Structure 1
């Protein structure tokens, strides 16, 4: 049987298609709850609280695979209590989510005069169940003293961590990142960060995963500022059977090409 170079190229195109077919993509994806939600409490009186809640655009609900939503706050916004007191200022807020699935969440905030407790939560990306997908989570926070008396940010997750990447419902914490307190000298800034796995790469998540979300939760000292970035990314693993089939077909193609030379 003749196997020309053109035929060889077509063969490998078929192999590539097969690999993509085995890898697949998320069959369905949806964005559950608010696109992003910011809750703020006065540190000295948690009953004083306010909220910013951005809804998922209607046309994105029940969206197609790998659908992406990117939203960013247009201008700084004060968060006020039910009594009109300013609890904090949201200077920047950016959420980028994909049904593939991936969640990126970034923010910049300034605490109120009594200090502020912040909870900044992404939408939940829901998708077809995946068995032991490969994932990574990374986050960083920069704390800045704004009133020449030092600054402190303290995480409100277990172990005083500032950021959490979680999955499924009820939620299971997969990565609690950024150790605290983050203590800053007067008129200075300091960045703290964390990653799972470290220092790079991906790690298999346990069992079956069908949704992901992320959240920053921390206390910030009065009048000081903090900014943060994060990404929680899940990759659909290539089944071992697909590796075997594509490798076998590739070897067959190479052998045929050699016989034609």
Structure 2
């Protein structure tokens, strides 16, 4: 099997990580593209002592730590998001965010994460603890949940409230979601893709975003379909079945990049 064939199954999930880390689809996908270009340019330099997934993320981490793409992308939305992020970095470092996302969202072990960010397992645990402590002090908001499966909706409600946020409503159809968003403007939306009446959570979110800007996290059993890098796609994505820690990390990271949650 060629190196490209070994890496292909892991690319959607690297895009998920990169988008969550940067708060932007285009910014994150650019980093992934740069990592792939580096591998193509020097395939002999690809890590041989670890499995393909770990080697891919290690290459990405090297690009992330050494390259800044703001100049390539120009100003505008991505630059604004990065400025917002920097404003919140007083108590949480980029390395802390990487450690949290790699463990909670990507499911790497502490040992693998230590290898990826070139530190010790003990330091990884300290970094994650620092990130969680800062997240606990994050600005609270109202969350709209768009989910037609009652058990999953209840679980999401519990996670949201455990983080200190409020639930503005739970909608099971597109029309219901839009109506609830208009009735009480949320600060965050958690949206399933397929809804009860065969309507789409994606369409519901499009309708909501046509009225006002709000960060969105999509929830799907088929993440690869929304992580192709070939069209406008979600920045934040959670895979079903999900772990509570994954949802918490995604919520906190989405709010981290949201200008509306920056404290005055």
RCO higher in 1 or 2 (8 Å CA, sep ≥ 6)? 1
- Bigger Rg over Cα: 1
- The reply to whether TM is greater than 0.5 is no
- With the length of structure 2 as denominator, give the TM-score of the two structures: 0.23
Which is strand-richer, 1 or 2? Answer: 1
